[in-house]
A = this chain, B = another copy of it.
Amino acid sequence: MSATSSVVEGQATTWRIGEVAKLTGLTTRTLRYWEQMGLLTPKSHRQAGERIYSDAEIDRARRIKELQELLGFSLAEVRVVLETEDVLDDLRDAYHADPTPAHRLHVIHRAIEANDRLLGRLDDTLTQVQAFRDERAAKAQRLRRKAAELRDDPGIQRKERR
Contact = CB atoms under 8 A, between A and B. Distances in A.
Interface string A114-127: 01101100110110
A90 B137 CA distance: 21
Nearest to A139: B115
B157 A96 contact: yes
Q: Which DSSP category, helix, strand, loop or mixed, fits chain A's interface?
A: helix
A154 B105 contact: yes
Given A122-B133, A122-B136, A133-B126, A150 B101 contact: yes
Nearest to A151: B105
Can you tell how many copies of this chain the complex includes?
A: 2
A7 to B, nearest CB: 26
Interface stretch (A39-47, A48-56, A140-148): A140-148
Nearest to A157: B96
B143 A119 contact: no
A61 B95 CA distance: 51
Nearest to A147: B108
Interface string A22-44: 00000000000000000000000
B125 A129 contact: yes
A60 interface: no
Interface of A: 66, 69-70, 72, 92, 95-96, 98, 101-102, 104-105, 108-109, 111-112, 115-116, 118-119, 122-123, 125-126, 128-130, 132-133, 136-137, 139-140, 143-144, 146-147, 150-151, 154-155, 157, 161-162
